[in-house]
């Protein structure tokens, strides 16, 4: 990874221990990469940052002539780097050698991560919000696998408790009904059970097997485990977990209920585990489930939550710490709300009236590739508008069409070139025009983009990279002659296009979108 090579060069000449930040400047006139290391050192050493930057520059020039074509210092103390053509050409060779393993790294080797996502209550079809969380969770799992982790995708089924009883009342159509819609009418025809709790359990099984699981498959997601909340009660895990907290003097009784001392671990208030009627809360089973996952030797747990569950984070971190686990090994991703827009107007949704648009319907309308790509275009933790008209448009205005078209164009050139290419030795040094270099440089940024996505769960960086790579490839295609060029130069450019195609294919696999043969 080129970014790592630059960081290693800096570490060799900087003796002081300071974090080294390498970034890609927005404006290319400030280099291919830049660092603020001198500015950071100035604060530690109480020296002029420009003086420090110039000193680093001199040492780097002597030691790393092959890596950089140019190094410049810019006020107030930035060091800007331009990579040499030789280094960039080596990156093409690396891509062609590693193929779809390019961009993989081993930071997660021998480490297990559990990612729990979607986990919608089995009371109705999956919503577009569930879809957003599902696609983000699946792509994060892909990225972490690329980083070498052993990843388990998990769906937690809330198949017991109050919402199942409410589902039962809805199926029975009594005064306590809260869910409605065509699916409730169909369930009413199928279920003969008159007890609300049992009717709810029966309905939840049907919803899970006939609605949720087929939709998840349609979304292109394969869970390693579907974990039943009910199983925690059958195995007495909930009861045993509460007993464990009791032995640690972390529970108390008040007003007829049993409370967990979660404030002792940073939560904003203590939480009820057993209600006054003796029924255990969802939080009680959530703690037991948390313990179950840690006991399965996962070094890190990542949980995707809906926007209405933000308050859940503090209590779950408190529970982890109370059970003796490091709260740093528990991470959360909040999935914010989605607005569907058609002709510039919001398409409203309401789960309780049954008029909301499901993720199933959205995929039917715009296609799986567009649904995945559009949901990944913005951070899951920000509100988003999903433009239905744009997602369906078969033109370069549509972002997913734009990137797929660029990848298909690569394949088309390679197919046409088979009749004209020969087997002579390829000279990549001929790739020296600005368009050649810019495309190569973009390809070389793929590994660091994957690394950033794995470290920071920054999935939208993958989408931005796809758009940037498509732009650079289209620019290259428009400016440089390929088929019909002199044989030596054509051969070199075809190798560059092969490398581009490999990166597109690898990237699309991470995003879970298809690479069509033609468009």
Residue 17, pLDDT > 80, answer no
Q: How confident is the model at residue 64 (pLDDT cuts 50, 70, 90)?
A: low
**Distance of alpha carbon 79 from alpha carbon 505, whole angstroms:** 34
Q: What is the pLDDT of residues 260-292, one digit of tens each?
A: 999 999 999 999 999 999 999 999 999 999 999
Q: How confident is the model at residue 372 (pLDDT cuts 50, 70, 90)?
A: very high
Tokens of residue 108, six digits: 């997660």
Q: Domains plus CATH for the chain?
A: 2-83 (3.30.1360.70), 112-335 (3.40.50.620), 395-511 (1.10.730.10)
Q: Which of 47, 51, 45 is nearest to 15 (CA)?
A: 45
Q: How confident is the model at residue 423 (pLDDT cuts 50, 70, 90)?
A: low
**Distance of alpha carbon 258 from alpha carbon 271, whole angstroms:** 9
Q: How confident is the model at residue 355 (pLDDT cuts 50, 70, 90)?
A: low
Q: Which DSSP string do the residues of 321-335 spell out, in sequence order?
A: HHTT--GGGEEEEEE
Q: What is the pLDDT of residues 427-463, one digit of tens each?
A: 999 999 999 999 999 999 999 999 999 999 999 999 9
Q: What is the pLDDT of residues 130-145, one digit of tens each?
A: 999 999 999 999 999 9
**Distance of alpha carbon 371 from alpha carbon 363, whole angstroms:** 6
**Distance of alpha carbon 136 from alpha carbon 166, whole angstroms:** 30
Average pLDDT over residues 32-36: 93
Residue 4: the pLDDT is 87
Q: How confident is the model at residue 350 (pLDDT cuts 50, 70, 90)?
A: very low
Residue 517, pLDDT > 70, answer yes
Average pLDDT over residues 479-489: 86
In the predicted model, what is the mean pLDDT of the chain?
A: 93
Q: How confident is the model at residue 351 (pLDDT cuts 50, 70, 90)?
A: very low
Residues ≥6 apart with Cβ < 8 Å to 239: none
Order of all β-strands in the sheet with 251-254: 251-254, 257-260, 271-274
Q: How confident is the model at residue 352 (pLDDT cuts 50, 70, 90)?
A: very low
């Amino acid at each position: 990874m080129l970014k790592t090579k630059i960081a290693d060069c800096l570490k060799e000449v900087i003796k002081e221990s300071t974090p080294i930040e390498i970034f890609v400047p927005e404006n290319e006139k400030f280099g291919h990469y830049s660092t603020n290391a001198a500015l950071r050192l100035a604060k530690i050493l109480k020296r002029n940052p420009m003086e420090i930057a110039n000193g680093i520059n001199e040492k780097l020039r002597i030691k790393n002539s092959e890596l950089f074509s140019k190094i410049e210092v810019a006020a107030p103390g930035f060091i800007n780097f331009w990579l040499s053509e030789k280094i960039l050409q080596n990156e093409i060779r690396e891509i062609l050698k590693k193929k779809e393993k390019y961009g993989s790294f081993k930071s997660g080797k021998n480490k297990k991560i559990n990612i729990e996502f979607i986990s919608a209550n089995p009371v109705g079809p999956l919503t577009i919000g569930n879809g957003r969380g599902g696609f983000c969770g699946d792509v994060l799992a892909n990225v972490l696998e690329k980083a070498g982790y052993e990843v388990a995708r998990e769906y937690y089924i809330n198949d017991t408790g109050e919402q199942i009883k409410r589902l039962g009342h809805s199926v029975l159509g009594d005064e306590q009904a809260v869910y409605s819609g065509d699916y409730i009418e169909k369930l009413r025809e199928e279920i003969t059970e008159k007890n609300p709790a049992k009717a709810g359990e029966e309905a939840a099984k049907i919803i899970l097997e006939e609605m949720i699981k087929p939709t998840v498959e349609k979304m292109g997601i394969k869970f390693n485990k579907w974990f039943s909340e009910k199983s925690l009660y059958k195995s007495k895990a909930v009861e045993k977990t509460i007993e464990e907290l009791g032995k640690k003097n972390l529970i108390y009784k008040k007003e007829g209920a049993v409370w967990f001392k979660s404030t002792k671990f940073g939560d904003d208030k203590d939480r009820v585990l057993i209600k006054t009627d003796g029924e255990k809360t969802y939080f009680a089973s959530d703690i037991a489930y948390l313990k179950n996952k840690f006991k399965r030797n996962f070094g890190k747990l990542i949980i995707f939550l809906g926007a209405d569950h933000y308050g859940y984070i503090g209590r779950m971190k408190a529970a982890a710490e109370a059970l003796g686990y490091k709260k740093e090994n528990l991470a959360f991703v909040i999935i914010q709300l989605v607005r569907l827009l058609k002709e510039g107007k919001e398409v409203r949704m309401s789960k309780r009236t049954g008029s909301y648009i499901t993720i199933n319907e959205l995929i039917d309308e715009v296609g799986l590739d567009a649904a995945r790509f559009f949901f990944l275009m913005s951070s899951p933790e920000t509100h988003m508008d999903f433009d239905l008209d744009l997602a369906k448009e078969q033109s370069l205005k549509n972002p997913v069409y734009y990137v797929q078209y660029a990848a298909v164009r690569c394949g088309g050139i390679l197919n046409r070139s088979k009749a004209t290419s020969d087997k002579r030795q390829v000279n990549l040094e001929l790739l020296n025009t600005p368009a050649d270099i810019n495309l190569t440089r973009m390809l070389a940024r793929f590994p660091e983009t994957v690394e950033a996505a794995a470290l920071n769960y920054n999935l939208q960086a993958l989408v931005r990279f796809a758009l940037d790579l498509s732009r650079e490839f289209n620019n290259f295609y428009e400016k440089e002659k390929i088929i019909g060029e002199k044989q030596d130069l054509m051969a070199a450019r075809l190798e560059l296009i092969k490398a581009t195609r490999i990166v597109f294919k690898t990237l699309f696999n991470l995003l879970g979108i298809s690479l069509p043969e033609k468009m």
